[in-house]
């Protein structure tokens, strides 16, 4: 028995059920972390083996080859080459799927050539009979010099066999399967072998053929590798030859061990594809899915959201009464609790959106959407793969921007990143909801559609339209060199696994709440501090107001509170920017809300509730107080149609989200793009809001 | 349309050089040549290698991308890539 934990790496093509197997091996022990220096999710979990020892399982990103085409995929290469790393795998489990075993074996032969003990797991073995597939496992084991485990992740069969295979990792053959040198150019590869001592030949070859150096390589080795990199054409030619030889080898092996009876097997794929990629029905179906998705986000989510809203305002009330008076306790009941409530309230909407995206991906339908939309999106400088981030952007731009990573070309990806924040994210919703409720009457159009609902829909159209339009402009303006290569696997249709989807939604929602939660919490604390401290007038508010005012006792308290707000630090900030925002129809109080929502839009409602509410923060009261606000110059309501619409337009365009700016900086590796977004979208928001106000006023 | 017509020996026959982009839905062809300068490695790693049969399964509604099956893999590529995958010549009756 060994006391050391065995390091196991799971690798495999996308759509092979690798994640299902990972979920079954690790269950609830899994955690998501980060690889140092990059924002790729690192999924790890531990697994108790049957002999009593335990293993750390790392689920590496899905890839078709060890040669990466994206940042996520490069993790596979780095992990499998970094022999000195403490997490270097003792054994690699290569997950293949029985129907696509030919392509899956390409990756397997690559892993095997790195001389790491490898186990081949063939998933979906329960489908073999139905699809008329037969596989001679013993013979294949002999030829590939490996341990093969047949698994059905869906039926939970074969998981124990994987565990057993892992515990025997020391007994596996680690000779390379395939001698690249013999077939391609012996002299050249001998030269590589002689120059880079201490590395296996295939490892050296991979190091030489990568565009960028791997992170762990020494300067001396880099120098040698660079010499081989000079003749790029030769490298490319030999890589092509290598791939051809690998497939020749695989085809020969499978001819002896694998057969498919084509007469069997129902052709679900072609039947579904006929409808789902049809030039009319394909789009009709996609539109219905989108409609269903938005319907559920706004309808189904409202029940838990109302519940959360109520729970937090009760909690805040309760804490105000239960906790003794004092600086720290005020911070808790007026700053922290409403702050956390402001983020928790989005959980239902975001979870539902993640749920939809997860189902679309698990079933294999997302690839069909990419296929349908690619040509259309390309007219706007994006790619079919941009559809996924744009849809996710309606939940939150942060995970959406991270989802742009599998867009091949840099220009397509950059444009998608830049325009995604225009889509109406769920943080804009509470802002829209309160302003629409203030300025749009509750009437019905044609007896069925609510006018308020139509305005909300109009704002979604505005968001999506401006994303598309700015992509079109960026496509003309941006001079970015990018090699663009597009390839999308069209996987078999599958029933989604509940467990996979549950894990996926849970993990993404958690990441969102923790990430955005930190920012919102910090902002609410800062805001609370700025609102409860101020100039000397602020500190002497009671005396000043009592001396000048003739009001009754109750009104007096309100007047003192209002005077305090005006002379607090945040009030002073609002007053400072008032001249700038006056042309848009706003006053200094709205200015405060604008300033605070530069951190995150949803802070707007919270800030207004702090500003307008004294004592109570029940939404009805905030709305009433906002409705009662009078513009001292025009003597009209502050939140009239022109000012309200101008505010809606401002929030539709402005880049008010620190979290998004931070993620854009990380993903584009420069401050240039987030700053362009901040100022570009800010300027657009300002002028559009100005025009809206001026036009509607007259 | 995209094919290059080339007269060869026989009087009434022409040799038609064609690519994956010239296939009709359901039609098959054998990959003949892949230029290592123009064909990206990931395309070959998906299974697109000389000697293999390609089937065009579906066009996207705007005729681009193309949904193909080759060497056991199903995937979609853009027309510009499909035009670079040259298929074995076939003999046709002169048009």
pLDDT score at A530: 84
Q: Does domain B20-85 have CATH number 2.30.30.90?
A: yes
Q: Please check whether residue B65 touches A, CB under 8 A.
A: yes
Provide DSSP, A380-394: TT--GGGHHHHHHTT
Is A293 domain-assigned?
yes
Q: Please check whether residue A379 touches B, CB under 8 A.
A: no
Cα A303 from Cα A345, distance rounded (Å): 11
**Which candidate from B60, B73, B74 shows the least CB-CB separation from A372?**
B60
pTM score, two decimals? 0.83
Closest-CA residue in chain A for B70? A103
CB contact under 8 A, B65 and A488: yes
Is A502 domain-assigned?
no
CATH number reported for the structural domain that contains residue A112 in this entry: 3.40.50.300
Indicate the residue among A431, A459, A477 that finishes a domain.
Answer: A477
Q: Please check whether residue A103 touches B, CB under 8 A.
A: yes
Mutate to test the interface with B, among A67, A74, A103 (most CBs of B within 10 A): A103
Closest-CA residue in chain B for A68? B42
Q: Please check whether residue B26 touches A, CB under 8 A.
A: no
* Same domain, yes or no: A309 and A417: yes
Chain centroid, CA A282 distance in Å = 26
Contact A632, A587 (CB under 8 A): no
State the nearest Cα–Cα gap between A106 and chain B, in angstroms.
7
Q: Six-digit token pair at A52?
A: 């009593």
**Measuring CA to CA, which residue among A477, A461, A472, A463 is closest to residue A424?**
A463
Q: What percent of chain B has pLDDT over 70?
A: 77
CB contact under 8 A, A102 and B34: no
* Same domain, yes or no: A70 and A151: yes
Indicate the residue among A457, A477, A497 that finishes a domain.
Answer: A477
Chain centroid, CA A451 distance in Å = 33
* Same domain, yes or no: A166 and A187: no
Q: B2 pLDDT exceeds 50?
A: no
CB contact under 8 A, B71 and A102: yes
Q: Residue A70's domain spans which residues?
A: 6-171
Cα B24 from Cα A486, distance rounded (Å): 21
User: Which residues of chain A have a CB within 8 Å of the CB of B60?
Assistant: 277, 371-372, 374-375
pLDDT score at A510: 84
pLDDT score at B15: 61
Contact B39, A100 (CB under 8 A): no
**Measuring CA to CA, which residue among A200, A219, A214, A220 is closest to residue A35?**
A214
Cα A526 from Cα A533, distance rounded (Å): 11
Contact A250, B74 (CB under 8 A): no
Q: Is A87 helix (H, G, I), strand (E, B) or coil?
A: coil
Residue A576's contacts (CB-CB under 8 Å, 6 or more residues apart) are none
User: Which residues of chain A have a CB within 8 Å of the CB of B38?
Assistant: none
Q: Please check whether residue B34 touches A, CB under 8 A.
A: yes
Mutate to test the interface with A, among B48, B60, B84 (most CBs of A within 10 A): B60
Q: Please check whether residue B37 touches A, CB under 8 A.
A: yes
pLDDT score at A549: 67
Cα A171 from Cα A427, distance rounded (Å): 55
Angle in degrees, CA A71, A120, A31, rounded to 5: 50
Is A345 domain-assigned?
yes
* Same domain, yes or no: A209 and A156: no
Burial of A483 (0-12, 13-18, 19+ CB in 10 A): exposed
pLDDT score at A295: 76
* Same domain, yes or no: A194 and A300: no
* Same domain, yes or no: A110 and A184: no
ipTM of the complex: 0.84
* Same domain, yes or no: A317 and A357: yes
Mutate to test the interface with B, among A69, A105, A135, A243 (most CBs of B within 10 A): A243
Angle in degrees, CA A540, A545, A551, rounded to 5: 155
Residues of chain A with pLDDT under 70: 1-3, 37-39, 264-266, 298, 342, 482, 516, 519-520, 549-555, 558, 609-623
Cα A23 from Cα A60, distance rounded (Å): 13
Q: What are phi and psi of A272, to 5 degrees?
A: -65, -40
pLDDT score at A298: 67
Q: Please check whether residue B25 touches A, CB under 8 A.
A: no
Q: How far apart are the first and last CA of chain B?
A: 13
pLDDT score at A617: 41
User: Which residues of chain A have a CB within 8 Å of the CB of B40?
Assistant: 485, 487
Cα A38 from Cα A61, distance rounded (Å): 14
Is A542 domain-assigned?
no
* Same domain, yes or no: A215 and A341: no
pLDDT score at A648: 95
Cα A624 from Cα A639, distance rounded (Å): 11
* Same domain, yes or no: A237 and A285: no
CB contact under 8 A, A100 and B67: no
Q: Count chain A–chain B contacts defined by CB atoms under 8 A.
A: 109
Q: Please check whether residue A143 touches B, CB under 8 A.
A: no
CB contact under 8 A, B76 and A244: no
pLDDT score at B62: 83
Number of Cβ atoms within 10 Å of the Cβ of B33: 13
The CA R_g of chain B, rounded to the nearest whole Å, is 14
Q: Please check whether residue B22 touches A, CB under 8 A.
A: no
Is A684 domain-assigned?
no
* Same domain, yes or no: A294 and A406: yes
pLDDT in tens, B48-88: 999 999 999 998 888 889 999 998 899 999 999 999 999 98
| Helix (H) or strand (E) run with residue A229 in it | helix A219-229
């Amino acid at each position: 028995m060994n006391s050391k934990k065995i390091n196991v790496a799971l690798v495999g093509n996308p759509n092979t059920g690798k994640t299902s197997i990972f979920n079954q091996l690790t269950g609830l022990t899994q955690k998501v972390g980060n690889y140092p220096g990059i924002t790729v999710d690192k999924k790890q979990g531990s697994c108790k083996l049957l002999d009593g020892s335990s293993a750390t399982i790392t689920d590496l990103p899905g890839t078709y080859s060890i040669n990466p085409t994206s940042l996520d995929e490069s993790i596979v290469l780095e992990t499998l080459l970094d022999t000195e790393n403490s997490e270097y795998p003792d054994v690699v489990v290569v997950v293949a799927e029985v129907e696509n075993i030919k392509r899956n074996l390409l990756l397997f032969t690559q892993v095997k050539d790195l001389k790491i003990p490898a186990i081949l797991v063939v998933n979906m073995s329960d489908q073999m009979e139905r699809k008329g597939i037969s596989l001679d496992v013993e013979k294949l084991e002999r030829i590939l010099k490996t341990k093969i485990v047949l698994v059905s992740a869906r039926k939970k069969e074969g998981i124990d066999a994987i565990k057993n295979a892992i515990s025997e990792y020391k007994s596996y053959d680690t000779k390379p399967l395939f001698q690249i040198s013999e077939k391609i150019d012996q002299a050249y590869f001998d030269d590589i072998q002689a120059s880079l001592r201490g590395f296996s030949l295939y490892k050296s070859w991979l190091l030489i053929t990568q565009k960028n150096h791997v992170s762990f390589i020494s300067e001396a080795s880099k120098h040698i590798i660079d010499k081989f990199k000079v003749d790029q054409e030769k490298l490319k030619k030999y890589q092509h030859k290598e791939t051809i030889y690998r497939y020749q080898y695989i085809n020969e092996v499978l001819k002896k061990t694998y057969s498919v009876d084509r007469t069997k097997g129902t052709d679900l794929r072609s039947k579904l594809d006929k409808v789902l990629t049809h030039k009319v029905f394909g789009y009709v179906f996609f539109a219905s899915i989108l409609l269903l998705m938005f319907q559920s986000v706004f309808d189904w989510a409202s029940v838990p959201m109302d519940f959360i809203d109520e729970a937090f305002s009760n909690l805040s009330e309760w804490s105000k009464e239960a906790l003794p008076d004092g600086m720290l306790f005020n911070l808790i009941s007026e700053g922290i609790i409403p702050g956390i409530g402001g983020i928790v309230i989005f959980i239902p909407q975001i979870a539902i959106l993640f749920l939809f995206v997860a189902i679309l991906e698990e079933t294999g339908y997302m690839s069909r959407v990419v296929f349908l939309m690619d040509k259309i999106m390309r007219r706007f400088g994006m790619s079919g793969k941009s559809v996924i981030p744009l849809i996710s952007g309606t939940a939150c731009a942060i995970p959406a921007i991270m989802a742009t990573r599998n867009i091949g070309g840099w220009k397509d990806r950059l444009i998608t990143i830049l325009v995604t924040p225009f889509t109406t994210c769920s943080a804009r919703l509470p802002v829209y909801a309160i302003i629409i409720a203030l300025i749009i009457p509750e009437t019905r159009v044609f007896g069925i559609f609510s006018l308020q609902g139509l305005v909300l829909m109009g704002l979604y159209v505005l968001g999506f339209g401006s994303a598309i339009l700015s992509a079109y402009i960026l496509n003309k303006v941006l001079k970015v060199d990018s090699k663009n290569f597009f390839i999308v696997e069209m996987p078999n249709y599958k029933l989604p696994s509940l467990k996979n989807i549950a894990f996926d939604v849970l993990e993404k929602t958690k990441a969102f709440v923790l990430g955005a939660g930190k920012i919102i919490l910090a902002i609410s604390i800062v805001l609370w501090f700025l609102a409860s401290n101020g100039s000397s007038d602020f500190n002497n508010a009671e005396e000043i107001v009592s001396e000048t005012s003739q009001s009754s006792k109750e009104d007096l308290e309100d007047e003192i509170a209002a005077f305090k707000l005006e002379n607090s630090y945040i009030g002073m900030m609002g007053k400072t920017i008032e001249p700038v925002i006056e042309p848009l129809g706003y006053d200094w109080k709205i200015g405060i809300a604008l300033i605070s929502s530069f951190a995150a839009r949803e802070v707007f409602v919270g800030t207004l509730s702090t500003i307008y509410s004294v004592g109570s923060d029940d939404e009805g009261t905030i709305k009433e107080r906002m409705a009662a606000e009078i513009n001292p110059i025009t003597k009209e309501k502050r939140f009239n149609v022109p000012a309200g619409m101008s505010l809606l337009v401002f929030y539709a365009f402005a880049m008010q989200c620190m979290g998004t700016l931070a993620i854009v900086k990380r993903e584009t590796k420069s401050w240039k793009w987030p700053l362009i977004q901040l100022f570009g979208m800010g300027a657009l928001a300002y002028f559009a809001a100005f025009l809206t106000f001026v036009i509607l006023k007259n | 349309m995209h094919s290059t017509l080339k007269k060869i020996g026989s009087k009434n026959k022409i040799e038609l050089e064609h690519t994956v982009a010239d296939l009709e839905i359901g039609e098959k062809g054998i990959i003949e040549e892949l230029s290592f300068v123009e064909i990206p490695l990931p395309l070959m790693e998906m299974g697109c290698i000389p000697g293999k049969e390609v089937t065009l399964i579906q066009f996207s509604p705007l005729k681009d991308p193309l949904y193909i099956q080759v060497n056991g893999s199903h995937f979609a590529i853009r027309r510009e890539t499909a035009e670079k995958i040259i298929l074995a010549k076939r003999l046709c009756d002169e048009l």
